[in-house]
Structure 1
Amino acid sequence: MSGVVDVGEALELTFAGAPGSQVSVTWIDPNQATVVNAESVPEVPANSGLFPRLLIPTAPGMWAAMFLGPGQPETYYVRARPLLGPPPFAAIGDVAVPFGVLTAAQEALAGHLLRAASALLRQRVPSIDADVAAGRVDQEVVALTVAQMVLRVMRNPQGLRGETTGPFSRTYDTTAAAGLLVVTDYDLAAVTPVQELPAGVASVGVGTIRVQPGMAPPTHPLGGHVRRPDRAGRPAGWMGYPYG
């Protein structure tokens, strides 16, 4: 079992075992240092076989909670996300408007995907924050791009290619909506500033091909006839016309 929380956010992990068992927990930080060492976990409620323990990660990274009870130990992994850092480019409301009413579970999923999509976009376009701040890229367009990345996942979370219900069938474009967060070429184009050519470059015809005099093959005024020697190597006349 594993979970994802923010640094400092408390989470409750529950070990299930035989009623009346003796259970302990060890809490290990991302640097493999023991924060809680084999601490006893009470059974709540009594004789329920449930042993809940409230734990708090205090640093970003992967934490591990090892419960020791009857049988083999059981380990829970918890990834703690840093509180500091750049915020997502879009909010849950940007997803809810085109998607529709979100359940609590869908809101949680959208929040996670928005942060992940923003991180992916920042990795592909490292200058995006500076571009937005300088006005080279429209902030609304960036928010729309991230929301669309999330919507592609939420509308087809299982990556279905086709679906049939009675007489009706639908086919999904899984190139970009395969149930995974992806940054498409369209997304990159939307958040990349337009590069203007330096002054004077357009006037010299960059990107064009010009044919200068003397580059074309010569032609004969008689219209494409070829002069060639005879088999003895002597000059011959133009084919079909006298030579000379």
Structure 2
Amino acid sequence: MKEGPDITLLGSLIGDPARANMLTALMSGKALTASELAAEAGITLQTTSAHLGKLEGGGLIRQRKQGRHRYFTLADDDVGGLLETMMGLAAKKGHTRTRTGPRAPALRKARVCYNHLAGELGVQMYDSLLARGFLQEQADEDLLILSDQGRDFVADLGIDISPLNQSRRPLCKSCLDWSARRSHLAGSLGTALLEHFYHKGWAKRVEGQRIVEFSRPGEVSFQKLFPLIEC
């Protein structure tokens, strides 16, 4: 008898096209209703309910009830990271969808990966923090160390680290970016930085999409804060 983690259930849950489309839609970090997910998957509401039951039973999603309505989200950061990694592998192996459009360049530039910034700007932010010693990678691990200089940098932005340290989520974690095929910053700090950009008015989410759209002044401020540095 084989022992250890069983990946076959996860593979079967994610591998169904309808369920894959629903999980991808939830990568936006926004809670969606069964009707909205049915539209994303292109299936009936009844069939969607069956799929949602399987995804929830497998621990990939969770539901929130508000009044008479039920909303669904990814279960946690680990699920979001797994999906982003699978997207990166699919792109690397050439398993891409043939349909392209004006959204593609914008998605590659800046988008939400569950609850943090991904795309070219997300990778730039990660590289800039590493180059200046604010983040330190650990051998063979996704978890990162925020240096003392990094803590000062974050504090100067007005972000309070204390509640982030008390979170059950990792403070800093690398996440493989599917389009750039390099790492960007996840974890509670990654979420806090994205919220900071929203709060400062530098960027906003495109309604109903994963795209994060920076204003011209916002991108100028971002570039000053996270410059590209040759190592």
| Fold match by TM threshold 0.5 | no
TM-score (norm 1): 0.19
Q: 1 or 2 for the larger relative contact order (CA 8 Å, sep ≥6)?
A: 2
- Determine which structure has the larger strand proportion and give its number: 1
The structure whose residues are more often helix, as a share, is 2
